Amino acid sequence: MTIDDLRNRGLIILECISGSRAYGLDTPESDTDIKGVFILPKHEYYGLNYTAQVNNETNDIMFYEFGRFMELLSVNNPNILELLSTPESAIIYKHPFFSEIKLEFILSKLCRNTFGKFALSQIKKAKGLKKKIVNPVDKERKSILSFCFVNYDQGAIPLLKFLEIKGWSQENCGLVNIQHMKDVFGLYYSERINYNGVIKDVTSGEVCLSSIPKDEKQVALLYYNRDGYSSYCKEYRDYWDWVEKRNEKRYENTKSHGKNYDSKNMMHVFRLLEMAIEIGREGVVNVHRPNRDFLLDIKDGKYEYDELLEMASGLQSEMELAFENSSLPDRPNLKLINDLTYRLRDKFYFFGL
């Protein structure tokens, strides 16, 4: 099922402008995101073709099936609470039946976790981007050789440096296990004996062992930092996967303000924490934000990262206090939501869907 199918078959019961334009945080460069709700025809809902969600390739247009929408409301999902509370100015279409879903049936102290944890995840993302920007990983991948060290002059030096000093090639090296010494090997060298080398090739995941003639003299002990190589491989893979998939527009914005953190993610940290405080204190979901200038200043990188973390920590404490003193129930009334879901679906079907 596609977005066009939903439109052509008249299955959409709620369609809203979402994201920055709903928050009042849009700029001339902002995309227009659409979110909404559809309801499956009766025979598809009861049959084998249940579809929980429909979206386009870029996920900037997304519709939830009515049952999935109500399920996510019942766990106080932030995105879905925002959709339910979309300002009138951002609503494209809303079926009259939809007005029977009242926010007071839904909100609970679960929002302390759903909004708070979501905000913390954005901080984590911002940290992760900062680490990637400050510590880029070279495209040329290192081999195991860069994680091997040998004893030399009462100390230890990298194997590659050792081979350079000696004028030796790794292909002419032979290694043997040293009993009781994990990841430590006896190192031999010969240009006349057919040793297997330290590694077979640069893609090798293990060092090579060789058969060593009895009379050959060990030239050094070699230590292979296996854990270091494993960590490097993960870091390399994560970094270049990120480079391939990153949002270039956001990345260029991050580079332009020079603060080395994902400022858009940090903007959403503050938006989410402020919304959570309002939910705890007032029992409302204010999608349109009153402090546009402050939030856009964060997005534009006008604050230092540590300064934002300190302010966010203060908001988190404020949020915790708001929910401690809140009159909201601990959890939504699932029986009420379940009955409402059944009654509304039955009502939609009675009128021909």
| Residue carrying the six token digits 């993302």 | 125
Q: Single out the residue of 148, 140, 21 nearest to residue 91, CA to CA.
A: 21
Q: What's the rounded Cα separation, in Å, for the pair 250 and 245?
A: 12
pLDDT given for residue 202 in this prediction: 85
Q: What is the DSSP string of 243-255?
A: HHHS-HHHHHHHH
CA torsion through residues 319, 320, 326, 330, sign: positive
More confident residue, 128 or 349: 349
Q: What's the rounded Cα separation, in Å, for the pair 287 and 290?
A: 9
pLDDT given for residue 257 in this prediction: 58
pLDDT given for residue 203 in this prediction: 85
User: Which runs of E-coded beta strand occur in the chain?
Assistant: 12-18, 33-38, 53-55, 61-65, 91-94, 148-152, 155-158, 173-177, 184-189, 220-224
Kindly state the average pLDDT of the residues 320-348.
Answer: 95
Q: What's the rounded Cα separation, in Å, for the pair 197 and 172?
A: 5
The CA distances from residue 165 to 97, 160, 175, 279, in Å, are: 81, 9, 19, 67
Looking at the predicted structure, is the pLDDT value of residue 258 above 60? no
pLDDT band at 116 (very low <50, low <70, confident <90, very high): confident
Kindly state the average pLDDT of the residues 189-210.
Answer: 93
Kindly state the average pLDDT of the residues 282-311.
Answer: 93
pLDDT given for residue 127 in this prediction: 63
Looking at the predicted structure, is the pLDDT value of residue 238 above 80? yes
Contact between 216 and 188 under an 8 Å Cβ cutoff? The reply is yes
Average pLDDT in the chain? 90
pLDDT band at 133 (very low <50, low <70, confident <90, very high): low
Report the length, in residues, of the chain.
353
Q: Residue 99 corresponds to which tokens in the numbers above?
A: 């007005």
Domains in the chain, CATH or no CATH each? 1-106+332-353 (3.30.460), 109-136+247-326 (no CATH), 144-230 (no CATH)
Looking at the predicted structure, is the pLDDT value of residue 250 above 60? no
Kindly state the average pLDDT of the residues 211-240.
Answer: 93
- pLDDT tens per residue across span 50-108: 999 999 988 899 999 999 999 999 999 999 999 999 999 999 999 999 999 999 889 99
Instruction: Choose from 43-52, 199-208, 318-327 the range with maximum mean pLDDT.
Output: 318-327
| pTM assigned to the model | 0.68
Looking at the predicted structure, is the pLDDT value of residue 180 above 60? yes
The CA distances from residue 280 to 114, 116, 243, 285, in Å, are: 12, 12, 39, 10
pLDDT given for residue 128 in this prediction: 61
